[in-house]
Amino acid sequence: MKLLILVIALGFTGAAPLEDDKACEPHSRPWQVRLHGEGASCSGALINEWWLVTSSYTCNPRPYNTIASLGVHDLSAQEGTEQHIRVADVVHHSPYRSPLHSLTMVRLSAPARLTPLVRPLQLPTRCPQPGETCTVSGWGRTSQNDYSSQLKCISVPVVDDHTCMSTFPGDLYWSPTMICAGRNGTDNCLTDSGGVMECGGQLQGLSWLTRGCRDPTDPSVYTKLCKYNGWIASVMDRYTPFTTSAVCTA
């Protein structure tokens, strides 16, 4: 009887014992892109109707073999909001897969249809500051036993470079193109490669090394997007988009 009363009480209060408390509010990150198919299972951020960016550390999209899915929240459900578009071009920052860079630009084979649920995220006009709180989103795990298919959101504080470097092992390179976020006692783990770090409405990072998943006292490492505005602009200038028929229906 007590158990029944508890269940009824939880129902009236809107509580759900199995609810994923790290799940984003559905479709609250309209720039989030899921890259999947041959060679890729990772996230990215839409920066205009033709282009998105992702991390090159563990994400390897391939032209016309990888699909970019937009307008998605739950990977296990058909929500009626999805757009599935094949990848046309993949441009890795040179030198490719350098220990000092982890950034890939992806051009879609057809432009995304911009809606309230599919919108680009603004490129940075400044660099994030230590102590600033940002949101990281992706479809990875936030704990060892977390297998939810919903998009996750965690809040992370930006960590100053000196503190970040002091946590690195001696054989790991540090670069000014890295930024660290998260510390012990905060949400510090999201395993999705290319997870998107948004600070104040701007794209400030892409997940690179999820060190906070291995040890919650360590910050995780993100590509510092404010260092790449010039390169991103130059790549978009070099490629002239053209519409093809490579839009997927599923």
Return phi, psi of residue 247, to 5°. -90, 130
Is residue 124 over pLDDT 80?
yes
pLDDT per position as a tens digit, 15-64: 333 456 799 999 999 999 999 998 789 999 999 999 999 999 889 899 99
Return d(Cα 97, Cα 143) in angstroms, integer.
Answer: 27
Return d(Cα 202, Cα 20) in angstroms, integer.
Answer: 26
Two structure tokens written together for 140: 């990875």
Domain that holds residue 189: 133-226
19 assigned to some structural domain: no
Structural domain count of the chain: 2
Residue 180: give its domain's CATH number.
2.40.10.10
Quick one: pLDDT band at residue 8, thresholds 50, 70, 90? very low
Two structure tokens written together for 31: 């720039």
Quick one: pLDDT band at residue 13, thresholds 50, 70, 90? very low
User: Taking the mean position of all CA atoms in its chain, how far away is CA 93?
Assistant: 18
Specify the pLDDT at position 97.
61
- Which DSSP category does 124 fall into? P
Tokens 């860079």 sit on residue: 101
pLDDT per position as a tens digit, 157-215: 999 999 888 887 766 778 899 999 998 777 788 999 999 999 999 999 999 988 888 88
Bigger pLDDT: 99 vs 112? 112
User: Taking the mean position of all CA atoms in its chain, how far away is CA 166?
Assistant: 25
**DSSP strand E in the chain: where?**
32-37, 40-46, 51-54, 66-70, 83-92, 104-108, 133-138, 152-159, 178-181, 196-199, 202-209, 220-224, 247-248
Domain co-membership, 202 together with 155: yes
156 assigned to some structural domain: yes
Specify the pLDDT at position 166.
85
pLDDT per position as a tens digit, 137-170: 999 888 867 777 999 999 999 999 998 888 877 6
Domain co-membership, 197 together with 210: yes
Return d(Cα 94, Cα 234) in angstroms, integer.
Answer: 13
Specify the pLDDT at position 187.
79
Domain co-membership, 43 together with 114: yes
Residue 31: closest CA among 43, 45, 42, 41 = 45
pLDDT per position as a tens digit, 84-104: 999 999 999 976 667 788 999
Two structure tokens written together for 163: 């503190």
Domain co-membership, 162 together with 40: no
Domain co-membership, 54 together with 113: yes
Domain co-membership, 112 together with 234: yes
- Which DSSP category does 57 fall into? S
- Residue 242's alpha-carbon distances to 3, 17, 191, 218, 234, in angstroms, are 61, 49, 34, 44, 18
Tokens 């030198």 sit on residue: 95
Residue 121: closest CA among 204, 202, 231 = 202
191 assigned to some structural domain: yes
Beta carbons of 76 and 62 less than 8 angstroms apart? no
